[in-house]
Each structure stands twice: as C-alpha cells, then as structure tokens.
Amino acid sequence: MIVKKSRVVIIGVGNVGVTTAFSLVTQGICDEVVLIDINEERAIGEVMDLSQSIEFLNRNVAVKKGTYEDCRDADVIVMTACAPMTSDNNRLLWLEATKGIVKGIVENVMANGFDGIFVVVSNPVDIISYYIYKLSGLPGNQIIGTGTSLDSARLKCFIGELIDVDPRSINAYVLGEHGDSEMIPWSCVRVGGKDIYSIIRDNPWRITEEDLDKLLKKTMQAGWEIFNRKGNTSYGIATSAVGIIKAILQNENKIIPVSALLSGHLGEEDVFIGVPVILNRTGAKEIVELEMTEAEKQLFKASCDHVRKYYDMLGI
C-alpha cells in the first residue's frame, strides 16, 4: 500500500515565505515542505537551517529545495513571490511588477500538471488571486488569497485590547479589499455572543461608537506601522497563511475571511475579494453571506468596484 504524503510547495523564500515554512514545520501541518526560489543558494540555506531544527520538534517534517516538477503532486502551492515592498503605503503600486513575476511562475507550475490549491499571499493579493485564477484555468474554489484573514485577526486583537477580552472570544470580520477600501460590518461583530452595539450601550466606559472608526483606521494601517519599523511584515501573514493551509489539509470546514471568487454572492460577480469562507480539502467550499446593513452593503460594493478597476491592467 502506498500512502500519499501531504506536500506544500512555497514559491518565494523571502521573509514571508521562509516564516511560512518555519510555521508549517514547527506545527507539523504537512509531511513535506518544498522551497522554490530564483535564488537557489538562499533556498538551499533555508532548507538546511529548517531541517536541522527537527530534533527539537514534535514531528519530522521533510524539507527540501525543489523545482517546478515538485508541483505536480503538491496539495498546496503558496505563492509569496512578488515585487519588493516599498514605503509608499499602497499595495496596488506593486501590481505591474508583481504580475510579471507571477505569470512566469504560474505557467511553469501548470505546465507540470498541478491540480491542487493555490494559497496566494503576493500583493496586491485580491488582484493577484484573480490573475492566478485566470492564468491557471483552475476552478475558482482552488484559488484562495490570504485576503482579509490577517486584517480580521488584527481587528480582533485591537477590540480585545480595548475592552480587555481575549481576541479568540471575539467574532469579527474585515471584508473587501486587503487595502484602503476594506470595511468592517459592525452589525455582525459579536463578543461572547453579544453584539457590539449592545456592548457600547451597556459599557460606554469601555467602548463608544467613536472608537469604531478609530479601530477601522488602526486595522488598515497596522501592516504599515510594522513595516515602517522593521522593514517587513512576516509573522502575522505567515501564520494566517498556515491557518488557511491547515484548514485545507486537515479538512476542518473552518470559516476564515479569505480572498475568494464571488459568483453572485453578496450581489457581486467575477471578483476575488475578502469574505468569510468555509475551507476544507476542496479549497473554498462555501462562501458565508453575512446579513449586513444597507450602508455596509454599499461599502462592500464600493470595495469590490475599486478592485475591479485594476483588472484591465492584467491584460487577460
């Protein structure tokens, strides 16, 4: 009997790629992690370093430097390759350079018969996810961008700090673009099952409606606050990606806000955008259509329209 090993291929071994690999290895999420990078010596060095950490971990995850041939039997490909980050505080400015990088990679991946799931980290993630969907020819459920997964985690962290509650006891999503047009459906936010507006009414010394606008702005700027201090962001986005991969490989049916293809969902068509999605071995199993207010629906629509404006730049 042949037992199929789970394989995750990471393309792009910069700060985010290698941190994703480290998180996969330390959590023992899969059987094999394969690293691919144009800088082969860097990839070899990272493989050596990761492999030599196994002694002190709970599971012997195999780590290797790979080629595009390794994509044939991969369950998940993590796309982290993109143009270098700049201090312009606008992910959309990276689109022109990143799409050229991504195009060649996707062509090589698909030429080797890949039929698994893409987890896209490369920014601007919503547009690049759509681009990979079009280039690859794979069904929409097999393309998943990290989207607003990290934004939502940051929002929960900030709400938790404000009202002194563990973020894991908070149910809240950031929706829309992973960028300046993202929005928060506050009508759907719950803390221990209690809606946020009831908490404001009953606990005005903890949180007010004025705090909600501040929380949105803080969430939108959180990545840049980190980048401007350390020159990159890695731990948050890498663990978000690994959370998505875990939900896929372990067939969790877990709801995570990711960039997924909308086909009539929430009134939108043919756009990759951040929404809550049930994730399992099939990829994006089902989109959760939240009951938003009319004002929130308009904000979400505006974010979708904003992302679509850049599709003409993709040339597909």
CATH code of the domain containing 251: 3.90.110.10
Closest CA to 33 of 59, 2, 55: 59
In terms of domains, do 84 and 117 share one?
yes
How remote is the C-alpha of 246 from its chain's centroid? Answer: 13
Closest CA to 66 of 8, 149, 110: 8
Looking at the domain assignment, is residue 245 inside a domain? yes
- What DSSP letter does each residue of 274-311 carry, written as one string? EEEEEEETTEEEEE------HHHHHHHHHHHHHHHTTG
The total number of structural domains in the chain stands at 2
Looking at the domain assignment, is residue 171 inside a domain? yes
Euclidean distance between CA atoms 247 and 112, whole angstroms: 25
Q: Are 274 and 176 in contact (CB under 8 A)?
A: yes
Q: What is the pLDDT of residue 153?
A: 98
User: Which pairs from 66-70 meet CB under 8 Å and 24+ separation?
Assistant: 66/9, 66/34, 66/35, 66/36, 67/36, 68/36, 68/108, 68/109, 68/111, 68/112, 69/112, 70/7, 70/9, 70/34, 70/36
CATH code of the domain containing 57: 3.40.50.720
Closest CA to 225 of 217, 59, 272: 217
In terms of domains, do 173 and 209 share one?
yes
In terms of domains, do 74 and 117 share one?
yes
Bridge partners of 274, per DSSP, are 176, 259
In terms of domains, do 138 and 172 share one?
no
Q: What is the pLDDT of residue 110?
A: 98
Q: What is the pLDDT of residue 97?
A: 86
The series of mean pLDDT values per 10 residues for the chain, 316 residues long, is 86 97 98 97 98 94 97 97 69 81 97 98 96 98 98 98 97 97 98 97 95 97 93 95 98 98 96 98 98 98 96 89
Q: What is the pLDDT of residue 259?
A: 98
Euclidean distance between CA atoms 36 and 59, whole angstroms: 22
Looking at the domain assignment, is residue 1 inside a domain? no
Angular region, 164: left φ>0, alpha ψ -120 to 50, beta rest: left
In terms of domains, do 127 and 271 share one?
no
Q: Domain residues for 211?
A: 149-314
Q: Is the pTM value of this prediction over 0.85?
A: yes
In terms of domains, do 87 and 169 share one?
no
Q: Which residues contact 143 (CB under 8 A, 6 or more apart)?
A: 117, 118, 120, 129, 132, 133, 136, 260, 261, 272, 283, 284
Q: What is the pLDDT of residue 96?
A: 85
In terms of domains, do 135 and 159 share one?
no
Q: What is the pLDDT of residue 1?
A: 62
In terms of domains, do 137 and 201 share one?
no
- Point out the domain boundary residue: 145, 165, 196: 145
Tokens 């370093």, residue located: 49
Catalytic residues: 178
